[in-house]
Amino acid sequence: MKFIVNRRTVSLVESKKPCDEAREELLTPLDYRTVKTLDEARKKIWYKDWIKGGVNHREEDGAVVCDRKVKEKQWVVDVDSLEELIDFQGKYGEIMISNSSPYKEARTEIRILGVKGI
């Protein structure tokens, strides 16, 4: 399973690997809007930009959503089992798992809170 990975602080002057296993990938951001149907979305001021900026517009989970055309670079790691996750935690110290900004390819992030492996 693909996880976005980052640290408590990020470098703003260079794109620095948060951990050895991380690799940079282009991910597809999902653009959710809190209206229930595409018909309702048509009446909104953001509709044209939303249509222009994305593909695969659809209704999902009581909202409308599309895949944004402009992809975003993110650091990701693959963790496929609980053992791998525990090994990762052992190597880097305290970690926090939470929902990330929604991407087509990943929706969960691992934040490394510890100072091990810096």
Partner 1 sequence: MPNDIKPVKVSDIMKDVASSFDSSIASNWYSNIVGFLSGNKSFYVLLGLSGLLVFAAAMTALNAINIGYRHAYGVSREVPWGILISTYIFFVVTSTGLCIISSIGHVFGVKDFLPIAKRSVFLSVVTIFAGFTVIFFDIENPLRMALYNVISPNLTSNIWWMGTLYGAYMVFMAVEFIFLLIEKHKIAMYAGLAGLISGIAAHSNLGAIFGMLHGREFWYGPFMPIYFIASAMMSGCAAIIFFTWLGYRVNNERMDKPMERAMEVVGKLCTVMIAVLMFFTVWKLIIGSVAPAKYEVIKSMLHGHFAVNFWVFEVLMGMAAPFVLFLLSRWRNLNMMFVASSLMVVGIFFMRFDLVIAGEAVPSYYELGVKEYSHLLSYSPSFSEIMIVSAGMGIVAMSFLLGEKVFKGHKTEIH
Residues forming contacts to partner 1 in the complex (CB under 8 A) are: 4, 6-15, 31-35, 41, 43-46, 49, 53, 63, 72-75, 98-102, 111
Residue 38 CB-density burial (10 A; 0-12 exposed, 13-18 middle, 19+ buried): middle
Closest to 75 measured CA to CA, from 35, 94, 103: 103
Q: Least separation, in Å, of the C-beta of 44 and partner 1?
A: 4
Rounded least distance, CB 48 to partner 1, Å:
11
Residue 77: Cβ within 10 Å count: 21
Q: Which is nearer to partner 1, 37 or 86 (CB)?
A: 37
Tokens of 81: 């089992």
Cβ proximity to partner 1: between 10 and 86 the closer is: 10
Which residue number, 13 or 82, has a Cβ lying nearer to partner 1? 13
Q: Residue 107 and residue 24: Cα distance in Å, rounded? A: 16
Q: How far is the CB of 12 from partner 1 (least distance, A)?
A: 4
C-beta closer to partner 1: residue 36 or 116:
36
Shortest separation between residue 88's beta carbon and partner 1, angstroms:
18
d(CA 54, CA 68): 4
